[in-house]
Structure 1
């Protein structure tokens, strides 16, 4: 559904998606401007998806 450098949104099962904080190529996740922008994009995409009933948030 969405693939950024810091955030990914993956479909799990009917109506459920996983919003994963996992900074690509980094040992730690950073809450910086890029992550905030990707979070905004990901949440807008999730909100626009009519079939999504729930979101699981994971920090990897």
Structure 2
């Protein structure tokens, strides 16, 4: 995924299936300048490169 798509998903009112290494995650924030996203996985929050996120 790229930062533009991650930001679109974050700003959308729809729900999208986004995965990080096979686990579903919720995008909390996208840092376009640094190419990272803060995601929630269960009770854990982490910042990862958006390239690691996959849609679908």
Q: Same fold (TM over 0.5)?
A: no
Higher helix share: 1
Structure with the greater alpha carbon radius of gyration: 1
TM-score by length of 2: 0.31
Higher strand share: 2
